[in-house]
Amino acid sequence: MTQRLGDPESMTEVVAPESTIEHAVSIEHYKDMSSYPIPYQRNSYSPPMTATPSSSSSPPGAGPAEAPPPTSTSASSSSEPHPLLSASSDALKAHIGALYDSLAPRYLEWTASHDPTRLKWLSALTERLLPQGFASTPGGMSAPDSTTEPSAGTSKPSAQSGPPLRILEIGCGAGIPGTKILTSLPGARVVGNDISAGQIELARTNLSGEIEKGSAELRAGDMLALEFEEGSLDAVVGLYSIIHLPREEQRVMLGKIGRWLREGGWLMVNFSGVESEGLVARGWLAGGKDGGEGEGKEGGKGGGGAEGAGGMVSGAEGDMYWSGWSPEDSKKRVEEAGMRVRVAEMDGMEDGIEFLWVLAEKISE
């Protein structure tokens, strides 16, 4: 039996064979995620989970079901939830940070295949933040054409004119391309946050010039622990980051963002396109090798988040967690936080899931 990620009815835990996991480190194998079998466990916090056979299912946005590549997968009959689904919030976040630490260089390589989607949405945001006369480009910001004369009574835009742009990026990763592009905006002052100390160290290298100039500042730790004054930010960016929080913590985070943004400020974020209180991908990007038994390992009792090797949750080494509402509910959560959704679109495929991308503007209360 083969199960593919995205079946809304299934409550099946699937373990990919070792050969499949070995291929996960290659970007080439992620070019078409719609046909890639991803091991996962879905949690709906209903009665204890049991294996439910399913022979044909498709990830959201992938169209009609197709026969997946020949592979040998097996469903777990365990009634116990995956350890990450029963872990405490603190243990879950420590696990995610430790996993990203172990995968930092590999994750940066893998995300290169998703750069077009990231750049598309960063461009949509920067167009709304740029002073009149500047243009957004794939690599950052470009000044206005020097041959164009300003209208009477006006002056040419200057990268130094106007107040600084105060931007927060949650889940900045290694700082490229996102954080670097944001720092290219006129007068930008970008705070990059990531729960992974390993990612932050890569970002310090990749953004050394920006840090020296004062256009970038890096803060490691839980995004929920960040503090900013009310109305002090012009924009908040979250690329594949808020999805790692449990759903109710996503709601709390959006509330914080709504308070931090000034009126007319912008949020650019993506949410999971799959509604679930918890999704777990086993041996994600072949993670957990150094931590012991990450790849293809059956999930046992988590003990509420007992610490395993390398700071990861015991029995879940190498496994990754996400959660999400339905696309409509995600948009509602944004608007409940005091922002008006201006653009919302299903776009980009990663780990078999299409994402909801949102551009929202802080409105007056």
Q: What is the DSSP string of 32-43?
A: TGGG----EEEE
pLDDT of residue 33: 28
- If you ran DSSP here, which 8-state letter would residue 351 be given? T
Q: What is the pLDDT of residues 120-156, one digit of tens each?
A: 999 999 999 987 545 555 445 444 443 444 444 443 3
- d(CA 194, CA 96) in angstroms, rounded, equals 11
CB-based contact 319:294 (threshold 8 Å): yes
pTM, two decimal places: 0.71
Pairing of strands 339-350, 320-324: unpaired
pLDDT of residue 30: 25
Q: Which residues of the chain have pLDDT under 70?
A: 1-79, 132-162, 287-309, 350-352
Chain centroid to CA 104 = 14
**Pairing relation of β-strands 140-142 and 135-137?**
antiparallel
Provide the pLDDT for residue 351: 60
What is the chain's mean pLDDT, rounded? 73
